[in-house]
Amino acid sequence: MKLLLHTCCAPCSVQCVETLRAGDIRPDLFWYNPNIHPYTEYRSRRDTLVKFAGDEGLTLNLEDEYGLRSFIAGVYGVNESGGGRSRCAYCYRTRLEKTAAFAAEHGYEYFSTTLLISPYQKHDLVRGIGEEAAARYGVQFFYRDFRPGFRAGQKQARERGLYMQKYCGCIFSEEERYLNNG
């Protein structure tokens, strides 16, 4: 079975890819993350994924859009009223709808996302938005709770020398990570 896997970064992809392959599923990777700022951070994560895909012999589809302005404009209203949860819902929807649309256009029956491996993400929200996007574009959202493999995947990524990010992605999450935390 072939599946389009939205990838937030290389470290989170390691274990997801391994798990899918073990289940006889062939993941093709899809990069679309306009939520990662600033540009130097975006470039580090993107380039690390390109290298990882090459090393693993994986097909990588790059939607290479650094989306600082559009992302900030998109989250500004919800961010003011609903805090992080609304902001993250916008963020997940933006990325997963693009993935579902790409899957539909390119003949993939299934898509999924490496966001499902991180214990730091709002897991149920990711799942719900993935399923909504799937229904909208006439494809299937492949749900799997990858979280039990998170630590092992991060360890493997570190040992392989992959770039490891220090915050979720957007400039707001960078502030939350560092303001008052050194």
SS3 88: helix
Q: Does 129 bind ligand SF4 (CB under 6 A)?
A: no
Of these, 6, 46, 87, 98, which contacts ligand SF4 (CB under 6 A)? 87
Segment contacting ligand SF4 (CB under 6 A): 42-50, 105-113, 146-154, 162-170? 162-170
- Nearer residue to ligand SF4 within complex by CB, 149 or 169: 169
Judged by CB under 6 A, how many residues of this single chain contact ligand SF4? 9
- Nearer residue to ligand SF4 within complex by CB, 6 or 87: 87
Could you give the strand order of the β-sheet that contains 110-113, starting from the edge strand earlier in sequence? Answer: 60-62, 26-31, 2-6, 110-113, 140-141
Segment contacting ligand SF4 (CB under 6 A): 19-27, 53-61, 153-161, 165-173? 165-173
> Following DSSP, what letter does each residue of 21-34 receive, concatenated?
HHTT-EEEEEE--T
Distances (CA, A) of 158 to 27, 32, 56, 92, 105: 22, 23, 16, 26, 35
Q: Does 127 bind ligand SF4 (CB under 6 A)?
A: no
Say how far apart CA 83 and CA 23 lie, in whole Å: 38
Segment contacting ligand SF4 (CB under 6 A): 12-20, 40-48, 62-70, 163-171? 163-171
Q: Using CB under 6 A, which residues numbered 8 to 27 contact ligand SF4? A: none
Say how far apart CA 91 and CA 38 lie, in whole Å: 16
Where does the chain have alpha helices with state H? 10-22, 39-56, 68-105, 123-137, 150-159, 171-178
Q: What is the dihedral of CA 20, 33, 116, 25, to 10 degrees?
A: -10
- Nearer residue to ligand SF4 within complex by CB, 142 or 172: 172
- Nearer residue to ligand SF4 within complex by CB, 87 or 162: 87
- Nearer residue to ligand SF4 within complex by CB, 17 or 96: 96
Segment (H or E) for 109: none
Of these, 7, 13, 15, 35, which contacts ligand SF4 (CB under 6 A)? 35
Say how far apart CA 151 and CA 114 lie, in whole Å: 14
Q: Does 88 bind ligand SF4 (CB under 6 A)?
A: yes
Q: Name the residues that contact ligand SF4, by CB under 6 A.
A: 35, 87-88, 91, 168-170, 172-173
